[in-house]
Structure 1
Amino acid sequence: MTAFCYVKRSRAVHKPLQPESNNYDDVFSIIEIIQAKNIFNNKNEAAEFALGLKLFSEVMQKNRKYSLFKALAPAFGTFMKKLKSM
């Protein structure tokens, strides 16, 4: 996964995050697909949404046995189906 960094309001830059992932999805292709759907009328927000959703869904998938994610799974599945149908 490509490294990225987060800048706080104090403008302090932290070292880049480099999460380890066994997922080989092309994140940039996913971002382009979400941007093409024009859900937000803003390509930057679409990119933020796509990246956040991808990261979240990977953690959720890896930890689906935990009650926190078990409770969310049905609604998340419905959400993803709706997103993909747009």
Structure 2
Amino acid sequence: MGKRTNKYKLTLEELALAKEDDIIGEPLVLVFDNHDSIFNIIKAIKSKNIFEDENQSTEFAIGLKMFTEVILKNRDNELFKELQPAIGEFMKKLKSK
């Protein structure tokens, strides 16, 4: 039996663009797995009151979990070798707040 993961679907839509001559693209729908409950992570980040803007807590949690999951799934990729120690330390610091 394979590892259990949580499955998510994220829809990203452009609502407005800074440059008037840019064309709004089609919504992007992404289905992905993550070993953590992202909703629990969002709740935990919000409870730490790291950011004044609650939306930034959500943005941070989603971005961080998606980024670190890709790093975990590609831990042998040379691109991430230098980041791995720093990410490990960052995650310890974040969890201790």
What whole-Å deviation, never above 9, does each CA across 1:23-80 have from its counterpart, x for those lacking one?
Answer: 2533222111101100112211111111110111111111111112111100100000
Backbone CA RMSD of aligned residues: 2.0
Structure 2 residue matching 1:14: 3-state secondary structure: coil
Structure 2 residue matching 1:60: 3-state secondary structure: helix
TM-score (norm 1): 0.81
Q: Which runs of 5+ in 1 are unaligned?
A: none
Larger Rg: 2
**Correspondence list, 1:29-68, <5 A:** 29-68=40-79
- 2:85 corresponds in structure 1 to 74
Identity %: 45
Q: Which runs of 5+ in 2 are unaligned?
A: 1-8
Instruction: Specify whether residues 67 and 24 from structure 1 end up closer, same or farther in structure 2 by C-alpha distance, changes over 3 A only.
Output: closer
CA contact (8 A) 2:10 2:31 kept: no
Q: What is the CA-CA distance between 1:10 and the residue it aligns to?
A: 4.1
Alpha-carbon distance in structure 2 between the residues aligned to 1:69 and 1:14: 30
| Higher RCO, 1 vs 2 (CA within 8 Å, ≥6 residues apart) | 2
**Correspondence list, 1:5-24, <5 A:** 5-7=13-15, 8-10=17-19, 12-23=23-34
* Further displaced range: 1-10 or 63-72: 1-10
